[in-house]
Amino acid sequence: MSGAGDEPFIAAVKPLVDAMGGEMIPPDEAGPDDVVLAWEGRGAVAVRLPQLADSLDHILAAMERRKGVPLADLDRRAKQEVVRILEARGAFSVRHGVETVASALGVSRFTVYNYLNREKGA
């Protein structure tokens, strides 16, 4: 990426960039939509943010890793909790978000909407 003195900073931000599905690139290759992170007064690394739809896939994969089983294998209560977390993170504002989540959970879109309505009514 940048200079040798930047490595601790780059190592420190890498887990965050990975968690959000971003890509780390050299700062001199940054485009207008990339975010350049500065360290000690100069660009250390640039972060290319993912598209929203890619972020949802990344969030679902991370949730699956955390749970240790495919999301489709979770029980109903756990699936409802996943939907609640995803709603709080804005997953359903992404185009085809409900369909993507339904597919990952192994349920119908109707079931996802029921989970969402249950949360609103609770």
Q: Tell me the pLDDT tens digit for each residue of 9-63.
A: 999 999 988 877 789 999 999 999 999 999 989 999 999 987 766 788 888 988 9
Running DSSP on this structure, what letter comes out for residue 50? P
Beta bridge partners of 45: 37
| pTM beyond cutoff 0.85 | no
Backbone angles phi, psi at 74, to 5 degrees: -70, 155
Q: Are 92 and 113 in contact (CB under 8 A)?
A: no
pLDDT above 70 for 1: no
The pLDDT score that the predictor gives to residue 4 is 61
Q: How many of the other CB atoms lie within 10 Å of CB of 108?
A: 13
The pair of structure tokens assigned to 59 is: 């969030």
The pair of structure tokens assigned to 95 is: 């185009």
pLDDT above 90 for 74: yes
C-alpha closest to that of 61 among 14, 112, 4, 19 = 19
Average pLDDT, the chain: 89
- What is the 3-state composition of the chain as percent helix, strand, coil, each rounded to the nearest 5? 60, 10, 25
